[in-house]
């Protein structure tokens, strides 16, 4: 059996997926190490062991992600190629959502916006507001480095203790702006705000910023589907915030299954399609 490995060496973690030559997915996992080379080799070893695949069965390795630049030559003497990360994001997001036209947003350490339309995959821009922002500000504001704990804290948070809402600053109805829309993230922080309030405020701020940039990236285009990928998509708050933004902007924010692995899947799919 020929196995194709797609490996996404990101700014924080390495994601790996395996496919058969017939496009069947064999499995996925992610690893984290202090440097990208260790992370990539660790991911391959861990994957082959976890899924009981002998190295001799691996016929191709497709690398992508910012860390791919640190890997030169072939990996374990398996034919190895690199694919542009933005192409992998676009292909992976569209494969997982079964869409041919969409804005695919990678919410990782930073955020990337990729427009896929009529077979074209275009990186239209990026933002430094992403998972790294959430980690850094959580550490400063709540002395919490573990994102799972930040998400737990946020469950009992109240945005009213943190954010300024439109209804706080206007007593008339503004067209296209519901009274509960955010006027300013952290613009009304109370001195009684708890760590839970701050955690929810931070998660909400990062997701709202990404959602609003996505809306602007789709403005005046036929694109109505926004596919969200990357590790931030698995935070429980993602669904709530993006459902709210779907209604506000009349767009479909979609979190597909395996969203964490979209870029790695895009890397493997680019080879399988070719």
Ligand X SMILES: Nc1ncnc2c1ncn2[C@@H]1O[C@H](COP(=O)(O)OP(=O)(O)OP(=O)(O)O)[C@@H](O)[C@H]1O
Binding site for ligand X (CB under 6 A): 10-13, 65-66, 106, 108-110, 131-132, 134-135, 147-148, 230-232, 234-235
Tokens coding 246: 């779907």
User: 252 pairs with which residues across the strands?
Assistant: 225
Determine if residue 55 is left, alpha or beta; phi over 0 gives left, psi from -120 to 50 gives alpha, anything else beta. Answer: alpha
- Nearer to Mg ion by Cβ, of 10 and 211: the residue is 10
Nearest distance, CB of residue 164 and ligand X, angstroms: 25
Nearest distance, CB of residue 110 and Mg ion, angstroms: 8
Q: What letter would DSSP give residue 179? A: T
Nearest distance, CB of residue 188 and Mg ion, angstroms: 33
Query: Strand 80-82 vs strand 58-64: parallel, antiparallel, or unpaired?
Result: parallel
- Nearer to Mg ion by Cβ, of 8 and 197: the residue is 8
Instruction: Choose, by CB under 5 A, the member of 3, 4, 10, 241 that binds Mg ion.
Output: 10
Nearest distance, CB of residue 67 and ligand X, angstroms: 8
> Computed from CA positions of residues 167, 170, 171, 173, in that sequence, does the dihedral angle turn out positive or negative?
negative
- Nearer to ligand X by Cβ, of 178 and 236: the residue is 236
- What three-state secondary structure class fits 95? helix
Binding of Mg ion by 18 (CB under 5 A): no
Buried b / exposed e over 150-184, threshold 16 CB at 10 Å, is bbebbeebebebbbebbeeeeeeeeeeeeeebbee
- Nearer to Mg ion by Cβ, of 15 and 115: the residue is 15
For 116, how many CA atoms within 13 A lie in the half-sphere containing its CB? 25
Nearest distance, CB of residue 269 and ligand X, angstroms: 17
Binding of Mg ion by 108 (CB under 5 A): yes
- Nearer to ligand X by Cβ, of 135 and 213: the residue is 135
Q: Which does 266 bind (CB under 5 to 8 A by kind): Mg ion, ligand X, none?
A: none
The footprint of Mg ion (CB under 5 A) covers 10, 108
């Amino acid at each position: 059996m020929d196995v194709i490995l797609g490996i996404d060496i990101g700014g924080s973690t390495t994601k790996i997926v395996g496919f058969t030559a017939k496009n069947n997915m064999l499995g996925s996992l992610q690893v984290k190490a202090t440097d990208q080379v260790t992370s990539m080799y660790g991911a391959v070893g861990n994957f082959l062991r976890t899924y009981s695949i002998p190295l001799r069965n691996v016929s191709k390795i497709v690398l992508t992600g910012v860390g791919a630049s640190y890997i030169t030559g072939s990996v374990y003497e398996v034919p190895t190629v690199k694919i542009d990360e933005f192409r992998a994001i676009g292909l992976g997001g569209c494969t997982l959502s079964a869409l041919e036209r969409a804005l695919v947003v990678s919410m990782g350490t930073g955020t990337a916006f990729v427009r896929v339309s009529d077979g074209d995959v275009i990186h239209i821009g990026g933002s430094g507001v992403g998972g790294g922002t959430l980690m850094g500000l959580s550490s400063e504001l709540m002395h919490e480095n573990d994102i799972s704990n930040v998400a737990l804290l946020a469950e009992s948070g109240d945005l009213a203790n943190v954010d300024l809402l439109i209804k706080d600053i206007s007593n008339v109805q503004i067209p296209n702006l519901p009274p509960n829309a955010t006027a300013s993230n952290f613009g009304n922080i109370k001195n009684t705000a708890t760590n839970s309030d701050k955690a929810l405020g931070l998660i909400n701020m990062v997701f709202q910023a990404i959602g609003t940039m996505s809306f602007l990236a789709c403005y005046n285009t036929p694109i109505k589907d926004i596919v969200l990928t990357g590790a931030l998509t698995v935070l429980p708050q993602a669904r709530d915030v993006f459902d709210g933004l779907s209604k506000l902007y009349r767009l479909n924010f979609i979190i597909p299954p395996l969203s964490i692995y979209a870029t790695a899947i895009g890397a493997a799919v680019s080879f399988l399609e070719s």
